[in-house]
A = this chain, B = another copy of it.
Amino acid sequence: MIRKFRIGDPIPTDAVVMDIELSEGSIPYFDTDKEAKELALFLEEDDKVFGLGETVRGINKRGWLYVSNNSDDPNHTENKHSLYASQNFLIVFSKKKTFGIYIDTPGRVSFDIGYTFHNKMSISFEDFDADIYVIDGDSAEDIVSSFRHIIGRSYIPPKWAFGFGQSRWSYLTADEVREVADKYQAAGIPIDMIYLDIDYMERYKDFTIDEKAFPNFPEFVKEMKNRGIHLVPIIDAGVKIEDGYDIYEEGVSGDYFVKKENGENLVAAVWPGKVHFPDFLKDEARAWFGSKYKILTDVGIEGFWNDMNEPAIFYTEDHLNEVFDQIDTYKGKNLGVREFFGFRDLIAHISNNEADYKRFYHEYKGRKIRHDKVHNIFGYNMTRAAGEAFEKISPDKRILMFSRSSFIGAHRYGGIWCGDNHSWWSHLLMNIQEMPALSMTGFLYSGADIGGFDSDVTEDLLLRWAAFGIFTPLFRNHSAEGTRRQEFYRFENIPAFRNIVNLRYALVPYLYSEYMKAVLNDRMLFKPLCFEYDDDRSSQIEDQLLLGESLMLAPIYTQNATGRYVYLPEDMKLIRFRSFDDYDEEIIEKGDHYIEAELDEILVFVRKGHVLPLAEPSKGMGDVTKDDLSYICFEAEPSSYELYTDDGISRI
């Protein structure tokens, strides 16, 4: 049962696609304090709280303060309150009561989940304007399904997007891309995508190609496609200000950019230098920007990633001028320490400066609205721009799309990656812990940058991360400029990487099938154990996941480990894969176990009464068969597994 309540006068977000009648009366479960702009809930000792999508800390969100405020902050340490996304859906979970709540507002919301007081959850608002959906159901997953039903069907990528993709900021030339393809193929490691980060563009101008670095781009796209590799370029939110650049000129003449209070287009700086931001919230601007993707689909591109769309702002012209004026007041002075810190912080806070987000306005549903009031739906509407356009540009075939910034609603148009993480073991764990919350909020096509984007990876971290990443729909190895090169073929144990990636391809029939069933039936792809098993221990497990109907995962996420503890809520069959066709099966009893796993081994647990179909190996997704599957079964027949198949590319 879903009940919708309204506080104040909310700005619509289009996150919910179903009309639900407003309920009168007070919001159940919560005390509503209009004065304090707060909804408060008493938490029982054993209440757990799940959800909130892409955030730091554990699967159970209890014990921390989360703030929905999309932020380009690459240091995802435990003390952070906000990452790139605002996904305001959560479930309070216990034996006594389990219910869901969705806070629908584009503004800033704080979720104090037992942080200030262990037994209090406080949801507080900058503006007390929101639609509040309270969802009851028979189980946590039922509640999720009801919620997913009202927010609309999750995005479906082309099936080839379940292949492996290699990325780097940046492969600077076509030859560098060819080299990556060559080396992967020479190493016998299948690969389906190579990502083009910002340097493929002509001076970071959206929808352009650096012709010097990538001569005859349409031919190059074709050449790579003939090798089974999709090129997936990045699209950034800012449009370079440059006379003669058609996108810029159209944007100006079409009045498509966000404006300052005085009506001038905001001048910000991101990768291209000075830019204007398209007003993705304005229907005409969204349609215009979306239509530009056709420039690239026309040359054969079939997938994109949208970036920098919180939006990240290196600086605004106005603020930078203010800063230089302030710097003058420091110069030549005998700076006290606090003054020096003031000076240092002034510069440190130029980028993504909070005040800058109040400097510009949107034209949204006929109203002029200051950016900070709708900040969290900016990236969502960029993804929507693409998604809406793709339906016209490519009415028959699916286009790959995922984004850095997101908000519920964006899940209908694309997936996400978990932002600019680090090559930290703790970020592998975070990746694991984020997946169920992303399933709850509809972001099914998602995954983290395998191996970590920033910082230097180690081979063992990359192996372990890949061994988890093969289970996430988005399976991409990506790393930043200045960090250790991270392509699998650059390391010592190439056979181990090959076996891991091969196993991914062997798993595709299962992954795709479970993915599609989750999309079409509003189910979760990744689940916390307690969504299926009702014992206390299951509700406390923070490092194991259920994946689809058949599998439990227990990834290894610590340095130098050659095994880990695993909790089994029931008997399961452990498959210890050394490669897709070299594995041991062992039935493990319900309970606690220490399971060994060498660096080149991947553990998968098949649930009782379930089946894991496996394909033959392939050189790429073009080659994955749906016939000729083998089956690993635990007290089940192969025929009991309902394999979803389709052509993998037609829109459905």
A337 CB contact (under 8 Å) in B273, B330, B340, B537 = B273
CA distance A499 to B381 in the complex (A): 53
A:64-83 near B, CB below 8 Å: 64-65, 75, 77-79
A273 CB contact (under 8 Å) in B332, B336, B458 = B336
A:337-355 near B, CB below 8 Å: 337, 340-341, 343-344, 347-348, 350-351
A contacts with B, residue count (CB < 8 A): 68
Binary B-proximity of A40-63 (CB < 8 A = 1, otherwise 0): 000000001000000001101011
Contacting residues, chain B, for A117 (C-beta < 8 A):
492
Contacting residues, chain B, for A513 (C-beta < 8 A):
none
A:306-325 near B, CB below 8 Å: 314-315, 320, 324
Rounded to whole Å, the gap between the CB of A438 and the closest CB of chain B is: 19
Contacting residues, chain B, for A558 (C-beta < 8 A):
58, 542
Contacting residues, chain B, for A143 (C-beta < 8 A):
none
A299 at the interface (CB under 8 A from B): no
Contact A62 B560 (CB under 8 A): yes
A458 CB contact (under 8 Å) in B60, B64, B315, B330 = B64
Q: Which residue of B lies closest to A79 (CB)?
A: B455
Contact B565 A458 (CB under 8 A): no
A334 CB contact (under 8 Å) in B274, B422, B563 = B274
Contacting residues, chain B, for A456 (C-beta < 8 A):
65, 79
A:442-470 near B, CB below 8 Å: 454-456, 458-460
Contact B594 A58 (CB under 8 A): no
A424 at the interface (CB under 8 A from B): yes
Q: A79-B455, A422-B79, A458-B115 are in contact. Are A269 and B335 (CB under 8 A)?
A: yes
Binary B-proximity of A271-283 (CB < 8 A = 1, otherwise 0): 1111000000000
Contact A459 B424 (CB under 8 A): no
Contact B350 A344 (CB under 8 A): yes
Contacting residues, chain B, for A314 (C-beta < 8 A):
337, 340-341
A270 at the interface (CB under 8 A from B): yes
CA distance A274 to B57 in the complex (A): 41
A63 CB contact (under 8 Å) in B63, B337, B350, B559 = B559
Q: Which residue of B lies closest to A328 (CB)?
A: B331
Contacting residues, chain B, for A62 (C-beta < 8 A):
560
Contact B58 A559 (CB under 8 A): yes
Q: A57-B559, A62-B560 are in contact. Are A78 and B337 (CB under 8 A)?
A: no
Q: Which residue of B lies closest to A61 (CB)?
A: B560
A:534-558 near B, CB below 8 Å: 537, 540, 542, 558
Binary B-proximity of A94-122 (CB < 8 A = 1, otherwise 0): 00000000000000000000010110000
Q: A269-B337, A560-B63, A565-B592 are in contact. Are A78 and B455 (CB under 8 A)?
A: yes
Contacting residues, chain B, for A273 (C-beta < 8 A):
334-337
A364 at the interface (CB under 8 A from B): no
A78 CB contact (under 8 Å) in B327, B424, B562, B565 = B424
A561 at the interface (CB under 8 A from B): yes
Contact B77 A77 (CB under 8 A): yes
Q: Which residue of B lies closest to A57 (CB)?
A: B559
Contacting residues, chain B, for A537 (C-beta < 8 A):
594
Contact A324 B331 (CB under 8 A): yes
CA distance A340 to B563 in the complex (A): 47
Q: A78-B426, A423-B79, A592-B592 are in contact. Are A118 and B492 (CB under 8 A)?
A: yes
Contacting residues, chain B, for A48 (C-beta < 8 A):
560
Rounded to whole Å, the gap between the CB of A361 and the closest CB of chain B is: 25
Contacting residues, chain B, for A327 (C-beta < 8 A):
327, 331
Binary B-proximity of A470-492 (CB < 8 A = 1, otherwise 0): 00000000000000000000001
CA distance A146 to B500 in the complex (A): 45
Given contacts A75-B77, A273-B337, 16 further A-B contacts (CB under 8 A): A75-B75, A77-B424, A78-B423, A78-B455, A79-B455, A115-B458, A118-B459, A118-B493, A273-B335, A314-B340, A314-B341, A315-B335, A315-B340, A344-B351, A540-B561, A542-B561
The 4 residue pairs across chains A and B that have the minimum distance between CB atoms: A79-B455, A347-B347, A565-B565, A78-B424
